Structure 1
């Protein structure tokens, strides 16, 4: 397995992992930040963290979910830095009314996240549980099936129906602006 090779320091395996995931990481970061250089920095930061913590990679059951969490956290940290920079510029330029696009993106992200959370809350209990275990906790579908004592096909059906319901809910709200972000979360 590639994660085991990376955990043992195999740089070629790490290069393969990087080449496979870098565009996804960049796309997610760019969808939120809308800044090429910041998005490239996110890619670098994410893969540096993976390399530094490579010995723990063999303990990860759902690498996609694990990577999504790291990318989300790095992007949120970048948004916080942008917001702080914006705030310091605002204080320095009292009276300036121009809104920084990065801050606007951060606000849109928060609003979209609230809508996503509201959509998840509206799911039937079993769909909500399966969705949270698979997409938020990062468990594999077979592990969710074992944990809930249901068949893997039932988990797959609940997950499919949950994603469909969430997409339908979001499509009825004009406030949803960060659509690329939602596509990342709804995979």
Structure 2
């Protein structure tokens, strides 16, 4: 048992500012579960809640040297979670807005030959980027998106865990989002 678990939040934040990894670990262990539950109540999505909490802890470590605690640590962490959730909601609203805009644009120009040529070119680029994924990730991704198998079905088919399937699909989407850019990625989400 570490002596750190008996330290006050104030003492831990002082040690954190000095770069003490054990103090950071104690803060994480002390608040991770509580923050996750708080985020999950608001988001109703385990993965998003985990991501939000992880982002807060990553930010704390990255800015540890400038970390100044004006209130109590729990209040500070809950405020950070609250702001990350608001940012996430704003981002989701923006994506929904642009997806709707893109869908409207595509619906309006269905008969346009130029549009069809661009659509084919974009589809070809997307297919090339999917083909460039690591082999196992590509296989999982194609079973998910093209064959529309559930994560459970893919896991059974390939003899891997559902968590591995989820992780592979999530990582593939991240890679494609980076390589294709926002407009191409939105096109991909609509048509694949």
Q: TM-score range by the shorter chain?
A: 0.3 to 0.5
Larger CA Rg, structure 1 vs 2: 2
* TM-score calculated relative to the size of structure 2: 0.45
Of structures 1 and 2, the one with the larger relative CO (CA 8 A, separation 6+) is 1
TM-score (norm 1): 0.46
